[in-house]
A and B are shown apart, each in its own frame.
Chain A
């Protein structure tokens, strides 16, 4: 990618103005049923970004030309790094609490298997998806998981299309969805807030960010502890999540897919 485009002043200036405006609006709380939805500045920043996107409204090409918009893609990955560094700095001071919670932190990785229990049957039985469903639902579709699928099936296989679809959705909406979901589930007060913080760690950097920030806003008193747990969990996701998805999640998904497909064939025959 051309350096001139990556450093285009219009892009960065627009981002600065957008971010400052979003920060100025601040955090809004919306009661919803038994819980509360937390709207964070990052949500407004995303929406404003989309509104200025030249691919959606061609008139915006005058402010941000399309090539500059393409350059913003790689910029995201770099922009998340200072945040990751800030995030890590919450783990160091809390190292003793994290070690004390060690077994929970390591075993919650197995909770990733919840993905296929919920999403795989829905994809196969309700949406009638094919092999795409294996790629789409065996994991949370972050970079290490893509590497596994690309290694096993190739990225242009149906499995590859499935995982890239979820990856793109995750990149676009994952951050927002995690923030809304985490804040909401926290406000329901069913699960230990530290358990929710660890669960935040399953996502990509920005998902973890939004998720744990939402939790910290929901329970400001334990802010530092929550950030530390989410960060530690995310680190373990990178360290151990790869092996869990390769040796446990993918084989189980394959097995369940065959079972589910078998059943739906039988059902189809009954109908005809």
Chain B
């Protein structure tokens, strides 16, 4: 029983730490460089040659770092993804100086190619705990989770469809 609880404790602590990449900026900057290299190579197949995509990848890297730094310094909490997204929106707004150049460089980076390595990391990251959860009682939660996803997606789509 006790071993079980510590495992849960660790999981909670890890989950919470994982949720805040902006808390360890130095480490994040290095890991971010590594994952950008993965995305850069992934982009080689259906996107653009390495040199053509380099400026775009560097822009993405810079946007993420700026977003994380703001998330770190900001007095109220917003998830780092929200900050990164805001930075990127601002930099590509028609009023932003040089937005045309930024958009053209980013066009060399394929949308899907950037997300392919993320899923490869995800497949490698699954732990024994997750595999065993699915072997035992997981099927109920899987069913419920798939219904949750379907319900949310269709619910939102129907509301948006009516409003458009």
Binding site for B on A (CB under 8 A): 1, 3, 6-7, 11-12, 14-16, 18-20, 22-24, 26, 40-43, 45-53, 55-56, 64, 69-70, 72-93, 95, 101, 103-105, 107-119, 122-123, 127, 129, 133, 136-137, 139-141, 143-144, 146, 155-156, 162, 164-166, 168-178, 181-182, 185, 191-192, 194-196, 198-203, 205-207, 209-211, 213, 216, 227, 231, 233-235, 238-239
Asked if residues A108 and B159 are in contact (CB atoms below 8 Å), the reply is yes
Q: Are A80 and B118 in touch, CB under 8 angstroms?
A: yes
- Contact B19 A143, beta carbon cutoff 8 Å: yes
Expressed in whole angstroms, the minimum distance between the Cβ of A192 and any Cβ of chain B is 5
Interface residue count for B (Cβ, 8 Å)? 101
Taking a contact as CB atoms under 8 Å apart, the answer to whether B85 and A48 are in contact is no
B132-150 near A? 1/0 per residue, CB < 8 Å: 0100001011111111111
CB neighbours (8 Å) of A118 from chain B are 147-148, 150-151, 154
| Complexed CA–CA distance, A86 and B35 (Å) | 14
Cβ contacts under 8 Å, A140 to chain B: 148-149, 152
Contact B152 A105 (CB under 8 A): no
Question: Are the C-beta atoms of B116 and A235 separated by less than 8 Å?
Answer: no
Q: Which residues of B contact A111 (CB under 8 A)?
A: 152, 154-160
Contacts of A43 in B (CB 8 A): 119
Q: Which residues in A have their C-beta under 8 angstroms from that of B85?
A: 84-85, 87-88, 91, 231, 234-235
Residues on B lying within 8 angstroms of A by beta carbon are 5, 8, 12, 14-15, 17-19, 21, 27-28, 30-32, 34-39, 41-42, 44-46, 57, 59-61, 63-64, 67-68, 78-82, 84-94, 96, 99, 102-103, 106, 109, 111-128, 130-131, 133, 138, 140-161, 163-164
Q: How far is the CB of A265 from chain B (nearest CB, A)?
A: 20
What chain B residues lie within 8 Å of A78 (beta carbons)?
21, 28, 31-32, 35
Contact check, B150 vs A69: say whether CB atoms are below 8 A apart.
no
Q: Are A72 and B118 in contact (CB under 8 A)?
A: no
Choose one: B39, B103, B144; the contact of A82 (CB below 8 Å): B39
Q: Pick from A78, A91, A136, A175 the residue with the most CB of B within 10 Å.
A: A78
Q: Chain B residues with Cβ under 8 A from A41's Cβ?
A: 112-113, 116
- B121 lies within 8 A of A72 (CB): yes
What's the Cα separation between A119 and B142 when bound, in Å? 11
Known: A49-B121, A165-B145. A199 touches B154 (CB 8 A): yes
Q: What residues of chain B lie closer than 8 Å to A155, measured between beta carbons?
A: 8, 12
- Min Cβ gap B30→A in Å is 6
For the complex formed, measure the closest distance between the CB of B156 and the CB atoms of chain A, giving whole angstroms.
3
- Least Cβ–Cβ distance between B21 and chain A, in angstroms: 5
Interface centre among B18, B21, B34, B148 (most CB of A within 10 A): B148
Contact A174 B149 (CB under 8 A): yes
Smallest CB-CB separation from A8: which chain B residue?
Answer: B34
Most chain A CB atoms below 10 A, which of B46, B81, B90: B81
Query: Which chain A residues border B143 with CB–CB below 8 Å?
Result: 122, 127
Note all chain A residues with C-beta closer than 8 A to B90: 92
**Other 10 A-B pairs with CB < 8 A, given A79-B118, A238-B82:** A15-B38, A41-B112, A50-B124, A78-B31, A83-B114, A89-B92, A92-B103, A95-B93, A166-B145, A195-B161
With contact pairs A84-B81, A141-B145, A238-B79 given, residues A165 and B125 touching in the complex (Cβ less than 8 Å): no
| Complex alpha-carbon distance, A195 and B18, angstroms | 32
**Residues of A with C-beta under 8 A to B92:** 88-93
CA distance A118 to B156 in the complex (A): 13
Q: Which residues of A contact B114 (CB under 8 A)?
A: 82-83, 86
Is there contact, CB below 8 Å, between A194 and B160?
A: yes
Indicate which residue in B64, B117, B118, B160 contacts A16 across the interface (CB closer than 8 Å): B117
How far apart sit A227 and B34, CA to CA, in the bound complex (Å)? 26
Residues of B contacting A171 with CB < 8 Å?
A: 122
A20 touching B44 in the complex, CB below 8 Å, given contacts A119-B148, A136-B145: yes
Contacts of A48 in B (CB 8 A): 120, 123
A88 → chain B, closest Cβ, in Å?
Answer: 3
